């Protein structure tokens, strides 16, 4: 991994937080990374190139933002906390390829923001966000009509294990299935709690999900496919037939007919199915007019 000697961005971030007497808000998950060396090591693994446009979510004090600015073509940073405005404006002085937008990423029109910020609308995502919004933001980004080309995000170690899990395993869940439908996840490295200021109570992992070049399955109706994934895991102890009944308003006979059309046993459980099998069920539901 590359080592960078110039500590100026780190120093600027630390001085700006002090100067503006910034106090971290626990409820916004404000556990900052203030080591330039560590962030550079993480970004080395993010597979970014100088032509890339990056949407950074939750820039905090802006140290990662400043380092992204050196490595990439353009950076759009979306931050919820307006209290960070003076800090970010100090830290990002001279970073002419960075634009900061204040707003809640979960309520923002990401497609419109990125279309406006980036020339061709193609972009990657880098984020160190509060862990309680990880799943929501990942599901939002990957379901966009033009999803990012890759997503690098800090997650709790347990979430990384779930995201990396394989179909049929104990950890396999709707989140893993949806994310693996979008792309290939990999763990880039573990980050200990002491690396954050203040330290959280969990161990973190920086992960990267690279969007598939070609879809791993091609359901006839993509939205229905996503609905099916969520339905399949909705009640884990129930059979898929029961979950289909609840989610798609089918009676017992219709649910069995869908499974038969997909070539599956009527007692099958949703969490045991691969993407290929789920796709056959989604297409059978589509044929049945759901």
**Binding-site ranges for ligand SAM (CB under 6 A):** 28-33, 57-61, 64, 78-81, 104-106, 128-130, 133
Could you please report the per-residue DSSP string of 105-122? TTTS-HHHHHHHHSTTS-
For residues 33 and 189, what is the distance between their CA atoms, to the nearest angstrom? 15
150 has which bridge partners?
210
No. of H helices and E strands in the chain?
A: 12, 9
Nearest approach in angstroms of CB 260 to ligand SAM is 44
Nearer to ligand SAM, 59 or 147 (CB): 59
For residues 52 and 44, what is the distance between their CA atoms, to the nearest angstrom? 14
Could you please report the per-residue DSSP string of 42-90? HHHTTT--TT-EEEEE--TTSHHHHHHHHHSSEEEEEES-GGGHHHHHH
For residues 272 and 32, what is the distance between their CA atoms, to the nearest angstrom? 39
* Spatial CA neighbour of 34 closest among 63, 77, 66: 63
Nearest approach in angstroms of CB 76 to ligand SAM is 12
224-263 burial string, b = 16+ CB within 10 Å, else e?
bbbbbbbbbbeeeeebbbbbbbebbebeeebbbbbbeebe
Six token digits for residue 173: 């869940």
Nearer to ligand SAM, 137 or 240 (CB): 137
Nearest approach in angstroms of CB 212 to ligand SAM is 27
Nearest approach in angstroms of CB 155 to ligand SAM is 11
Nearer to ligand SAM, 56 or 277 (CB): 56
Nearer to ligand SAM, 198 or 215 (CB): 198
Nearest approach in angstroms of CB 147 to ligand SAM is 18
Residue with tokens 């059978």: 284
Nearest approach in angstroms of CB 172 to ligand SAM is 27
Nearest approach in angstroms of CB 118 to ligand SAM is 18
For residues 238 and 233, what is the distance between their CA atoms, to the nearest angstrom? 9
Prior bond of 198 cis (ω within 30°) = yes
Nearer to ligand SAM, 60 or 183 (CB): 60
Nearest approach in angstroms of CB 104 to ligand SAM is 4
Nearer to ligand SAM, 69 or 128 (CB): 128
Nearer to ligand SAM, 61 or 284 (CB): 61
Nearer to ligand SAM, 104 or 119 (CB): 104
3-state secondary structure of 184: strand
């Amino acid at each position: 991994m590359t080592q960078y000697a110039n500590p100026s961005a780190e120093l600027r971030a630390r001085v700006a937080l002090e100067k503006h007497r910034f106090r971290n808000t626990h409820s916004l998950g404000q556990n900052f990374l203030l080591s330039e060396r560590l962030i550079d090591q993480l970004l080395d693994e993010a597979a970014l190139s100088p032509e890339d446009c990056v949407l950074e979510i939750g820039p905090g004090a802006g140290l990662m933002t400043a380092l992204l600015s050196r490595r990439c073509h353009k950076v759009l940073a979306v931050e919820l906390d307006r209290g960070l405005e003076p800090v970010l404006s100090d830290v990002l002085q001279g970073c002419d390829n960075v634009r900061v937008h204040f707003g809640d990423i979960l309520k923002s029109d990401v497609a419109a923001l990125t279309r406006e910020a980036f020339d061709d609308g193609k972009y990657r995502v880098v984020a160190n966000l509060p862990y309680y919004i990880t799943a929501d933001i990942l599901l939002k980004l990957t379901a966009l009509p033009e999803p990012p080309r890759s997503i690098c995000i800090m997650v709790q170690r347990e979430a990384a294990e779930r995201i990396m899990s394989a179909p049929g395993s104990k950890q396999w869940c709707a989140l893993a299935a949806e994310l693996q439908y979008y792309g290939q996840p990999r763990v880039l490295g573990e980050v200990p709690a002491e690396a954050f200021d203040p330290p959280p109570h969990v161990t973190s992992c920086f992960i990267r999900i690279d969007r598939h070049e070609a879809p791993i399955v091609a359901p006839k109706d993509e939205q229905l496919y996503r609905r099916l994934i969520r339905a399949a895991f909705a009640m884990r102890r129930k059979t898929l037939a029961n979950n289909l009944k609840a989610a798609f308003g089918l009676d017992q006979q219709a649910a069995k007919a869908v499974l038969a059309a997909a070539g599956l046993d009527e007692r099958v459980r949703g969490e045991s199915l691969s993407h290929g099998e789920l796709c056959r069920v989604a297409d059978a539901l589509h044929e049945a007019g759901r």
